[in-house]
Amino acid sequence: MIKKDYLNTITSSGQPFIIYKSIKGFNLFTDFSKKITLNNKNIKGFLDTKFKFKNNYKNTDLFVGFFGYELLNNLIGVKLPKQKSINFPKGIFYKPETKVSLKEKLVYKSNKYNKIAKNFKININQTAYTKIFNKFKKRIRSGETYQIKICTKYKNKSKIDPLDFFCRLTRSNLAPEAFMIKDKNFSIISCSPENLITKNGLNISTKPIAGTLRKTSKINKKKALTFFRTNIKETKEHNMIVDMERNDLSRICQPGTVKLKKEKTVEEYKDLYHYVSLITGKLNKVVKNIDIIKAMMPGGSVIGCPKISTLNLLNKQEKENRNIYTGSFGYIKFNGDMKFNIIIRSILNYKNISEISVASGVVIDSNAKHEFNENFIKAKALIDLFK
């Protein structure tokens, strides 16, 4: 039985822990016996690890953690130019010895002082964004890419209580892929809505999100669906991402098994509506963990398409490392099952700096002002935590 003050106890102990949204509430992982910091040299060995367990399979027989954007690029052979970096780890996975199930309403009373600045500095203003936007529009017209995501970052100086932030975020903007990591020298708080990989046995699925509409008092879920279905730009963006992720799955699945299970539905969040589809498939029996990761990551819905040429365009343009943003968080069980999200709608707090990264898609019908404002809509639920 879990004590009511469990979260207060674990956070006051200074012990690292991870919380991840589950179907019925949250799973908390702690008492880590291993911590593997990934880099470009050891990631393949980590993914090729052969796990053995004797009689009973335990619910802690897994690694839980994240792959950063730079690491995933390198894994698929895309090299990044030299960029401004805060030297944050490229990826970390933990082996927990304790798993605790928590209710959806997390109970926690923060005794810590959040020393924060309410105002954020953005790394790309609207003028600079428009210049990048126009440059990418030319690339689209020339056929080098069909859709591309421009990343903007919001930063401030902050010494925060990450569990306090996460609990408030789950009350105001609970998302199906929400998670947090609290380690000794960093924290990540996320209300990510997007599942990239769910693998059970040979069955695999992905749930691409492409399409965003700001919520107002005049728009409900039904009207949002009508908007997406009749909006040329949003429809094109969604169709391109769905086609790309179907193609990604087809590289690792048995022929004829990749299906569009749910097409173009609407999900509702605190400040916005999203346009969502669900794709399923049955894996080839010879496919390994590393094959799945390489085929599916980085997630296409937050990059653009076609994936490789678009990544190269993005990386040449961006002056700062994305760190965790558009990487993936989740777990790999020792039996080979896995679940990973796309890391978006997240706060990385490292060296008392909070960083929120967001991106919007550029297609031939896009408008620069609209896309720049869409980035702020996506960041708003996180920025509101600092008020």
What backbone torsions phi and psi does residue 220 show, to the nearest 5 degrees? -110, -175
- Band of pLDDT at residue 2, cut at 50, 70 and 90: low
C-alpha–C-alpha distance, residues 297 and 248, integer Å: 9
Asked if residues 284 and 220 have their Cβ atoms less than 8 Å apart, the reply is no
Q: Please report the pLDDT score of residue 55 as a whole number.
A: 61
**Domains of the chain, earliest start first:** 6-386 (3.60.120.10)
Tokens 């949003």 identify what position? 234
**Residue 219 clears pLDDT 60, i.e. is over it:** yes
Q: Greater confidence, 350 or 174?
A: 350
**Residue 105 clears pLDDT 60, i.e. is over it:** yes
C-alpha–C-alpha distance, residues 384 and 169, integer Å: 9
Q: What is the 3-state secondary structure (H, E, C) of 43-107?
A: HHHHHCCCCCCCCCCCCCCEEEEEECHHHHHHHCCCCCCCCECCCCCCEEEEEEEEEEEEECCCC
Provide the greatest CA pair distance for the chain: 62
C-alpha–C-alpha distance, residues 294 and 194, integer Å: 18
pLDDT in tens, 30-73: 999 999 999 999 999 999 877 665 567 789 999 999 999 999 99
Asked if residues 117 and 156 have their Cβ atoms less than 8 Å apart, the reply is yes
Structure-block tokens of residue 93:
């996975």
Peptide bond connecting 306 to the previous residue in cis, omega within 30 degrees of 0: yes
What are the start-end ranges of the H helices in 119-208? Answer: 126-141, 162-173
C-alpha–C-alpha distance, residues 49 and 35, integer Å: 15
Q: Please report the pLDDT score of residue 239 as a whole number.
A: 87
